[in-house]
Amino acid sequence: MSVPNEDNMSPHTQLSSHFFGELLDSIIVDVASECHRIARLGLDRNLEEEEEELRLSAQARVTVADPSNSGETNGKYVVDIFGQTHPSVANEVFDCMNCGRPIVAGRFAPHLEKCMGKGRKARVKATRSSTAAQNRYSRGSPVSAYSAYSNSTGTNRLSNGTYNHTVEEYSNGTCEEP
Amino acid sequence: MATRNSVFANPKPCEHLADYKLRHGLSGYKSIQKWLKASPYGKTGIKMCETKIPTCRFRSGFHQGRLFLCLICSSMSCSDHTLLHAQSENGHDIAVDIERSELYCCLCSDQVYDPDFDKVVVSKNIMDMPSKTHDSVVDDLMRRSSKRRRLNPVVDLDLKRSKLLVSMMDRRAKSCYPLGLRGLNNLGSTCFMNSVLQALLHAPPFRNYFLSERHDPETCKKRSSDQLCLACDFGVIFSAVYSGDRTPYSPAQFLYSWWQHSANLASYEQQDAHEFFISVLDGIHEREGKGRNSNKDNGGCQCIAHRVFSGMLRSDVTCTTCGFTSTTYDPCVDISLNMDTTNFSSVTVANKSVREDTGRSTLLACLDLFTRPERLGSDQKLYCQNCQEKRDSLKQMSIKRLPLVLSLHIKRFEHSSLRRSSRKIDWYLQFPFSLDMTPYLSPSIVRNRFGNRVFGFESDKPDISSEFEIFAVVTHSGMLDSGHYVTYLRLQNQWYKCDDAWITEVDERIVRAAQCYMIFYVQKMLYCKANEDWSCTPISTRRDPFVPIAGCC
């Protein structure tokens, strides 16, 4: 906000400008007085620790942003700290506790949703005919029917390129891997 | 500005103030006490006359700035003329700022401090308070400690008494990495669940409870035939994760149980980690906390979820007309913080005003925002018991009691009522590894409201139970409805990244630079103790035979 030129102002403007100045000064002095008390009475002891934390964080951001520093990337891992490697879709197999069928871990949630009769798609299912209609629909346009699902599983491992593979599986109408 | 430390330095008076005290003692302070008047906002000013505006005796005209009342002769001088007054009248060195009731030395031209003066001011504040305000606010101003100390449950959650600890130390882990570090398989968009589970698996008091087998599945089944118990499921997960087996674990049974408990959240889609966290604690409480466990003398619910995570928030609503303050207390298992959107710069892009991240948002600023007095809109007038009608009010939050584990949730979602859409705020938020919560506790907040007056006769030792250390951060990357959660854990001063099945070591700088969504702090005492309990086990040269745990439990 530009400072008005006092000479060119009407007395009315001068007066309101003056009042504003007084109010602003008063607020500034209030803050200064409060901070003075806090500093003088040692109520602000942890300032150094706070500043150290800020400095460390700022430094960290710089280091991480520097591309030459990426030892740790968001994308692929080769091995974890135990020397293990894992597929993009967890392949442990166990029995579903609701229906007893063996399920692949990475597909357990979508299976369970249908199995328990929950979720949007499952609620539709009531008669054999509607199920059949659903299967027909899914085979015809895999992307639109399962776009929500494929997005979600896709983002977990975007860089591993299993996106398309996943969609194909669903379009066959089965969720389990042989 | 929130104060960071309740331990103050008893200020050394300047020679003029010391001299004044010798000669006049408290008489000057007491003589002006009747003119001290606190506004409902807490600021104490001096008002001598209802009908006349105070003016500087050395000036004519309206420009005067701040006025100071001489303690000897009660004359007013503006800041430009206080020195003149002290020089012309011998001994008239000390004055009081009439806007803030702060002592001012005219010869030093500086604000000075005297605990005796502060005491006089606070006494008047208390005298003037509308009658029903008393207890909570008065206690805080008079620095009276809270009447009841909550029984420290740390004693119960001591891991050293655990038989399991001994058996685990015997079992040779696959590597020298800390026990309990184990990947969690993604069961299909369940990273929201995995990320929170990792944090819970390493929350010291929560972990100690389950590893000590304090939750007995047998007793549980006897109590009710209903199979569903999230605490039992947690027990199973803890055993599995701390077994020494390093292959990723599938928390399928837990998902099943949780979906049975939270039917409305039971669907295969991206979910919110914070919602899951609250839902899980609620599930544990529902089973454990009802009825027999709720005991007012013990400070509330004794279920493990509440014993570890529950704190108490205080809300003060002040009438801006008469200053009457009504105080209410509410328990909470976490604190959701709005991002400090004032810390942005407005940039014009394609004719639209866009808010740009300055990169300067901090967690402490969010906490400041949380405890800042908030003016309730004129459409939100509240009934004032003193005025006996609806009035404009101020609301201020503070923390009455801190939990053992402090969970902070950053509200990264912005709802625009204009565009009727939500979006995610991706800005960086700086967060500390060591956090002192003292300035956000109720006594600090209330004293700040009334000008941070200090008396000098009480020694406020810094309360170490307000100091916290970080142990887990849940980060979110991506969009509002499709993103990925990852948890960083700090164990034995080493940070680990838990990305579903993948556990990797990371430098602390990666963590500092990450986009935090939920941050978990534990009381410093418990953190240090946890570090002692869990030292590295040596690398085993031969594999121990162990029974693989059935996959679905």
User: Tell me: the pLDDT tens digits for B488-504?
Assistant: 999 988 999 999 999 99
Least confident range from A33-42, B186-195, B276-285, B357-366: namely: B357-366
Q: Which amino acid is at A169?
A: E
Is the pLDDT at B545 greater than 60? The verdict is: no
Compute the average pLDDT of residues B244-251: 94
A81:B185 CB<8 A: no
| Residue B136 confidence (pLDDT) | 77
| Residue B49 confidence (pLDDT) | 86
Is residue B190 less than 8 Å (CB to CB) from chain A?
A: yes
| A21: three-class secondary structure by DSSP | helix
Residues 90-129 of B with CB under 8 A from A: 97, 99-100, 102, 111, 113
Residues 54-73 of B with CB under 8 A from A: 62-63, 65-66
Mean pLDDT of chain B: 82
pLDDT band at B522 (very low <50, low <70, confident <90, very high): very high
pLDDT band at B155 (very low <50, low <70, confident <90, very high): very low
The token duo for A90 is 């967890």
User: Which helix (H) or strand (E) segment is B37 a member of?
Assistant: strand B36-38
Identify which of B65, B252, B428 has the shortest CB distance to residue A61. B428
| Residue B56 confidence (pLDDT) | 86
| Residue B344 confidence (pLDDT) | 58
Catalytic positions of B are 191, 484
B181:A95 CB<8 A: no
Compute the average pLDDT of residues B462-486: 88
User: Which helix (H) or strand (E) segment is B125 a member of?
Assistant: helix B115-128
CB A6 within 8 A of CB B424: no
Q: What are phi and psi of B112, to 5 degrees?
A: -125, 165
The token duo for B529 is 């103790």
Q: Which residues from chain A sit within 8 angstroms of residue B9, using beta carbons?
A: 41-42
CB B215 within 8 A of CB B287: no
Nearest 5°: CA angle at B171, between B170 and B174? 135
Is the pLDDT at B225 greater than 90? The verdict is: no
Dist CA A107 CA A172 (whole Å):
14
| Residue A107 confidence (pLDDT) | 94
Give the start-end residues of each E strand in B99-215: 102-105, 110-112
Q: Quick: pLDDT tens for B11-27.
A: 889 999 999 999 999 99
The token duo for B481 is 């409805």
| Residue B457 confidence (pLDDT) | 46
pLDDT band at A131 (very low <50, low <70, confident <90, very high): very low
Q: How many CB pairs under 8 A join A and B?
A: 227
Identify which of A105, A148, A155 has the shortest CB distance to residue B483. A155
Q: Quick: pLDDT tens for B112-147.
A: 999 999 999 999 998 888 876 667 788 788 776 554
B509:A42 CB<8 A: no
A42:B7 CB<8 A: yes
* Residue B170 buriedness (CB in 10 A; 0-12 / 13-18 / 19+): exposed
Q: pLDDT higher for B163 or B92?
A: B92
Closest Cα partner for A83 from B238, B489, B534, B183? Answer: B183
Q: Which residue has the tokens 């307000």?
A: B466
Residues 32-91 of A with CB under 8 A from B: 33-38, 40-47, 49-50, 53-54, 56-61, 63-65, 72, 74, 77, 80-84, 86, 90
Q: pLDDT higher for B158 or B103?
A: B103
Nearest CA in chain B to A87: B501
| Residue B552 confidence (pLDDT) | 29
Percent residues over pLDDT 70 in chain B: 79
Is residue B465 less than 8 Å (CB to CB) from chain A?
A: no
Compute the average pLDDT of residues B344-373: 77
Q: Which residues from chain B sit within 8 angstroms of residue A86, using beta carbons?
A: 183, 248, 501-502
Q: pLDDT higher for A22 or A151?
A: A22
Dist CA B193 CA B372 (whole Å):
33
Is the pLDDT at A166 greater than 50? The verdict is: no
DSSP assignment, residue B502? E
Least confident range from A3-17, B17-31, B335-349, B445-459: namely: B335-349
Is residue A119 less than 8 Å (CB to CB) from chain B?
A: yes
| Residue B2 confidence (pLDDT) | 57
pLDDT band at A132 (very low <50, low <70, confident <90, very high): very low
Dist CA B100 CA B41 (whole Å):
12
The token duo for B148 is 């009841």
Dist CA A81 CA A152 (whole Å):
26
Closest Cα partner for B305 from B399, B221, B196? Answer: B196
| Residue B279 confidence (pLDDT) | 93
Q: Which residue has the tokens 């896709």?
A: A154
| Residue B349 confidence (pLDDT) | 62
pLDDT band at B536 (very low <50, low <70, confident <90, very high): very low
DSSP assignment, residue B441? B
In which region does residue B403 sit, left (phi positive, over 0), alpha (psi from -120 to 50) or beta (all else)? beta
A84:B432 CB<8 A: no
| Residue A10 confidence (pLDDT) | 86
Q: pLDDT higher for B481 or B393?
A: B393
User: Which helix (H) or strand (E) segment is B470 a member of?
Assistant: strand B467-478
| Residue B218 confidence (pLDDT) | 81
Is the pLDDT at B374 greater than 80? The verdict is: yes
| Residue B354 confidence (pLDDT) | 62
Q: Quick: pLDDT tens for B285-332.
A: 988 765 454 555 445 788 899 999 999 999 999 999 888 899 999 999
Dist CA B549 CA A84 (whole Å):
19
Nearest CA in chain A to B262: A118
pLDDT band at A173 (very low <50, low <70, confident <90, very high): very low
| Residue B529 confidence (pLDDT) | 83
In which region does residue A78 sit, left (phi positive, over 0), alpha (psi from -120 to 50) or beta (all else)? alpha
| Residue B385 confidence (pLDDT) | 85
Is the pLDDT at A138 greater than 80? The verdict is: no
In which region does residue B25 sit, left (phi positive, over 0), alpha (psi from -120 to 50) or beta (all else)? left
Burial call B240-259: b when 16+ CB within 10 Å, e when fewer: bbbbbbbebbbbbbbbbbbb
Dist CA B374 CA B371 (whole Å):
9
State how far Cα A121 lies from the chain centre. 25
